[in-house]
Amino acid sequence: MSNKALILVIDDEPQIRKLLEITLESEGYKTMMAASAQEGMALAAGHQPDMILLDLGLPDSDGQEVLVRLREWYPHPIIILTVKNTESEIVSALDHGANDYMTKPFRTQELLARIRTSLRNVVAKTAQPLINFGDCSIDLQARVVKKSEQIIKLTATEYSLLVLLAQNEGRVLTHQYLLKEVWGHAYADQTQYLRVFLAQLRKKLETDPNHPKHLITESGIGYRFHTG
């Protein structure tokens, strides 16, 4: 295998750590294991892994607090793996900087797919500024969006929203995060703005706006962008 990315697992369950170690290394990833928040923070600081898989139910610290502390300096993807599955926990983790969120028990193939997506996004941000999805493309340098090779006219706000979603492909972006990033902090509760603008983007870019393949709603939480 040739993936070579180093993934740090922070989880206090020995069987989960063993499962992840076997699964990840069989796919060519290098791994490090931590059973506590303290150990995980030390390994993250000392080895700068390419990704962290973080459990929220740690014995020595709340996982949400660990996430906040990591995001003060750690720039790479963090995927949450936890038994906590309430909407408030999910939204909090995503707003605190998690790239993705999976609840236990999880399907290993789905986890591997989400790992590939998150790592691919890191590479994509340093590559040529062109994002392709379906029969559409976004030229970030020219600020031009095309569908079937025809230029699609977007407003400045529509373009900003689309680019923010596209540059975070596969990641759930919460309503609050999108509103703050595109409209500003004063609009953090104006979720109707998102519904209107997402509907407009779907009409312009999706083949079937009523069954979107790229601009996906995560009910009660936010939106996720898919290239496929």
Q: What is the pLDDT of residues 53-64, one digit of tens each?
A: 999 999 999 999
Region class of 48: left (phi > 0), else alpha (psi between -120 and 50), else beta: left
pLDDT exceeds 70 at position 2: no
98 part of a folded domain? yes
Same domain, 29 and 113: yes
CATH of the domain at 82: 3.40.50.2300
Q: Check whether 121 has a pLDDT greater than 80.
A: no
| Encoded tokens for 132 | 């392709």
Instruction: Give the per-residue pLDDT at 128.
Output: 58
The pLDDT value recorded for residue 3 is: 63
The three-point CA angle 59-98-206 to 5° equals 150
Work out the average pLDDT over 48-55: 95
- Asked if 207 and 158 sit in the same domain, the reply is yes
Residue 191 has pLDDT above 90, yes or no: no
- Residue 1 in any domain: the answer is no
Token digits of residue 101: 């969120």
Query: 194 with 94, same domain?
Result: no
The answer on 138 and 97 residing in a single domain is no
Q: What average pLDDT does this structure show over 150-172?
A: 91
Domain boundary among 102, 124, 146: 124
- Residue type at position 90: I
- Estimate the share of the chain in helix, then strand, then coil, as percent rounded to the nearest 5: 40, 20, 35
Query: According to the model, what pLDDT value does residue 1 have?
Result: 40
Q: Across all residues in the chain, what is the average pLDDT?
A: 90
pLDDT average, residue stretch 86-91:
87
97, 168: one domain: no
Task: Supply the range of the domain harboring residue 185.
Answer: 130-225
pTM of this prediction?
0.68
Q: Which of 124, 147, 171 is the last residue of a domain?
A: 124
DSSP 3-state of 163: helix
Q: DSSP 3-state assignment of 15?
A: helix
Mean pLDDT of 68-73: 89
By the 10 Å C-beta count (0-12 exposed, 13-18 middle, 19+ buried), 189 is classed as exposed
- Whether the per-residue pLDDT at 25 is higher than 70: the answer is yes
